[in-house]
Structure formats: C-alpha cells, structure tokens
Amino acid sequence: MLHGARKKDGIIEAGFLPPKIEQSELNKLYRHHMHYLKGIRGGQRAVLRYVDMSGLNFSKMNFTDADLTGCNFSNCDLSNSCFVRANLFGGNFNGSLLDGANFERADLRGGQFEGVSLNKTNLLEADLRKGQLIDQNGRPTSSGACNFRNASLTQTGMKGCKMSGAVFEGANLSEVELTGADMRGTNFKGARLKGVELSSANLTDAQLGHAALDAQSKTSANMMMAQNLRPGPRAEKLSMLLDNHEEWVTSGGVSGARMELPNMDLSGFDFSARILAATNFSGSNLCDSDFSCAILSAADLRDVVLIDAKMIGADLRGADLRGADLTDTMLDDARMGVMPGVNKQTQK
C-alpha cells in the first residue's frame, strides 16, 4: 500500500497523502495501478487528488483510467507515458516533458501546459475545454482556460479534440492533425500552424488573424466563421498603392499618398526592395512576407506578426516595432537605430 494512502473499495485514495510525494511512493502507486489494469489480485486503481508530484519521473508509466484530478505535474518527465481516459482535470504540467505521451480521451480541462514540449503526443478526442479548480477559500486557482502558451506540439495528434476556449498563443502546432476538432473561440495569436489538417474542424470565433498559417492549412479549413483580419489588397491594387507611396516619400509629401495597410492579412506578400518608409502596417499579419532590402524607416509596425518573415538588409531605423512578434524573423544585416535627420529611434 502506498504510504499515507488508504484503501477503499479497491481504490487508492490520497486523502491522507502528504502534500508532496516522492519517486519511491509514485513507483509503489504505479505497481498497484498496473496490477489493477491487469486484473491481478490486490491491485487498486490510482486515485490521487490535489497532490504535488512535481519533478517526478513518469516516463513510460501507464496510468490508464487513473483519477489524478488537480495534481501538480510541473517539471516532470512524462515522455512516452500513457494516460488514456485518465482524469487530469486542472492539472499543472508547466515545464514538463510530454513528448510521445498518450492522452487519448483524457480529461485535461483547465490544464496548464505553458512552454511544454508535447511533440508527437496523442491527444485524440481529449477534452481541452475550460475547467476551474477552487481553493479552500472558494476562489478559482486559474482563469480556467486550458493553457498551451509557447508550447511545442509538432506532429501531435489532436483529431476530434474538444478545445473550445483554449489558449495556444505563441505555440508551434506544425503538422498537427486537427480534423473534426472543436476549436470554437480558441486563441491562436502568434501560433505557428503550418502543414496542419483542419478539415471538418469547428473554427467559429477561433482567433486566427494573427497566426502563421500556410496555404495548405488554410485550404483544408473552413475559415468563414473564424476571426480573421481583412484580406490584403490584390496584386494590381497593391502595385498602385506602392507606386503612390514611393512618390509620396520621394516628393516629401507634395504628391502621391501615404500607404495605409493596418490590421490586414498580408502574410506571404513580397515587399522586397520597396520604399515603405512611414507606411502604417500596425496590427497586420506579416508572417512569411519578404521585406529584404526594403526601406522601412519610420514605419508603423506596432503589434504586427512577423513570424518567419524576411527582413534581411532592411532599413528599420526609426521604425516602431513595439508589440511586434519577431519569432524566427530573419534580420541579418538589418539596420536599426536613429533615423538620420529626424532623431527618430527604432522602438522595440
């Protein structure tokens, strides 16, 4: 029997467990649970609620059908572990390694996975919706949203996931299977979704306007109900805007017109070697766009998304980059600092 636990109706309850358990106690619990799964006499299903298991090694352990509600798994090694149909409601996995883990049909509502590695993890039909734990004073312990901020989920299986309201800000979901997933109201600001399969996914109110999606991923999805930015101008219109803007810059504002492209989807556009000084791009999605050798001095680039954009050799002196997402932006030989003649500094 696990130290500090009690046996009731063939179940291990953690009502008397110390706040923090050690690896030796986890190993004992695992042996009892494996006996339960195999139908061996004396086995008991693992039921540990609100226990601190931070820093422990779960690698390759099988806790199928376990109840681990509200437990702290932070900084654990859960690689290649199995939690099929497990109740992990409100679990804290921050800082943990979950590569190759199996969470098929697990209850992960309200889970915290910030900065976690979940590459090639199985989340088939897992429940990633909102869920809140309440402390002894009746106060919620978190916002309740399932949090995957800055997590890495490359090649993760998420087919049929229930993930409405989840947060994936800054996460990498490259080559993820999301067929049939419920993604209503999900936050993908600054997330990378390349090579993603989104067919039959419910994207109603999903925040995709500031995410890095490639053409393949967009083609597989029904984006009509998602929250998107306005589409950028067509090629002919853009060419006219660029010519008018260059005339405005070179004439010192006497003729032509300043180019205004705020809050638009300009991902993948080619602006290389163009004169874009003082252009307003604020709030736009510029992922995968090419600004190589472009003149962007004094440009308004506040809150833009420049994931995987090319700015090699660009002139960014005096540009306003406050709030910009520069994840994997190519800035080799880009010039920053004071803009000559106007004492205007690059802001980041």
Over residues 123-172, the pLDDT tens digits come to 999 999 998 877 666 666 667 899 999 999 999 999 999 999 999 999 99
Please check whether residue 289 lies inside any domain of the structure: yes
CB 256 within 8 A of CB 240: no
Inside any domain, residue 248: yes
DSSP-derived letter for residue 8 is E
Structural domains in the chain (count)? 1
**Cα 2 vs. chain centroid, distance in angstroms?**
37
- CATH number for the domain that contains residue 257: 2.160.20.80
- pLDDT at position 12 is 38
Residue 11: closest CA among 57, 36, 44: 44
Among 175, 146, 143, which Cα is nearest to 158's? 175
Within a domain: residue 78? no
In a domain, 251, yes or no: yes
Beta strand 45-47 with 11-13 is parallel
pLDDT (0 to 100) of residue 2: 42
The answer to whether residue 97 sits within a structural domain is: no
Residue 249, in any domain of the structure: yes
Per-residue model confidence as pLDDT tens digits over 99-111: 999 999 999 999 9
pLDDT at residue number 220: 84
Rounded distance, CA 110 to CA 106, Å? 12
Which residue stretches of the chain have pLDDT < 50? Answer: 1-18
d(CA 327, CA 332): 14
pLDDT in tens, 180-192: 999 999 999 999 9
Q: Does 177 map to a domain?
A: no
As a whole number of angstroms, the distance between CA 167 and CA 128 comes to 10
Cα 245–273–320 angle (5° rounding)? 65
- Both tokens of residue 55? 């820093």
**Residue 255, in any domain of the structure:** yes
Q: Look up the domain containing 288 and give its range.
A: 229-348
